[in-house]
Amino acid sequence: MAESKDPTNANLEESETKKPKSMAAQTGLPERETVGTTGEEGAHGDVSTSAGSKLAPPETEPVVKPATKPAKRKKEEPAPVQAARESLSLSADEIDKPKVVKAKGSKNIHSGIAHVLSTFNNTIVTITDMKGNVIGWSSAGKVGFKGSRKSTAYAAQMVAQDASRQAMGHGLKEVEVLVKGPGAGRESAVRALQAVGLDLTVIRDVTPMPHNGCRPPKPRRV
């Protein structure tokens, strides 16, 4: 008798032969167990369960806020440079001794006379030899003072230093001081001459004093 085939078995065999091979079989790689997901998880595709771990929620990337523009830096204004303070002290220790440079045509004069003219507006120091020939001179304007600063005691100090530096270049060591005028630089000029290193032999006041000889001018009419 011919064996009668079961129609259900025949249908299963046909379905297996028609079933397409999986991608793993085609590529020769071992198949991974995949679990189909539904809903939100299904949108991410198959998830590997080889480790047997629970499905972890998808990692969300941190929201990066746009970097704010750096505030514009204000232009740094340079700090105002403070002017060097003038040393108004007249002590001999604080007066700097000027650098003495030997003059080109040095006259080798060891003693001389320092004429200090101190008025209300200016101070002029002239140093001569014993005969009256000028070997060094200076004034407040020459040193660099202007306006009302020319009549200050500090200006007289700088003037005396400048004049003595020129005279010491000719070999001057000792001087006689003749002071003329009622200005504020009388004493400071004399102290500066001594502090520089000159030996003061005589200090004499030669301010002209009237003996009622000349008639004074009329009062000013405004």
| Predicted confidence pLDDT, tens digits, the chain (222 residues) | 445 555 555 555 555 555 555 554 555 555 555 444 444 444 444 444 444 445 555 566 666 666 566 566 655 555 555 544 555 555 555 556 556 666 666 678 899 999 999 999 999 999 999 999 999 999 999 999 999 999 999 999 999 999 999 999 999 999 999 999 999 999 999 999 999 999 999 999 999 998 888 888 999 998
- What pLDDT score was predicted for residue 210? 86
- What pLDDT score was predicted for residue 43? 46
- What pLDDT score was predicted for residue 51? 46
Q: How far apart are CA 137 and CA 159, in angstroms?
A: 8
Q: Where are the alpha helices (DSSP H) in 31-185?
A: 39-42, 140-143, 153-168
Q: How far apart are CA 86 and CA 189, in angstroms?
A: 16
Which are the contacts of 129, defined by CB distance < 8 A and separation ≥ 6? 107, 109, 111, 112, 113, 135
Which are the contacts of 36, defined by CB distance < 8 A and separation ≥ 6? 42, 46
- Cα dihedral across residues 85, 90, 91, 94: positive or negative: positive
List C-alpha distances in Å: 154 to 6, 88, 92, 95, 163. Answer: 134, 6, 13, 11, 15
Q: How far apart are CA 99 and CA 190, in angstroms?
A: 19
Q: Which amino acid is at 95?
A: I
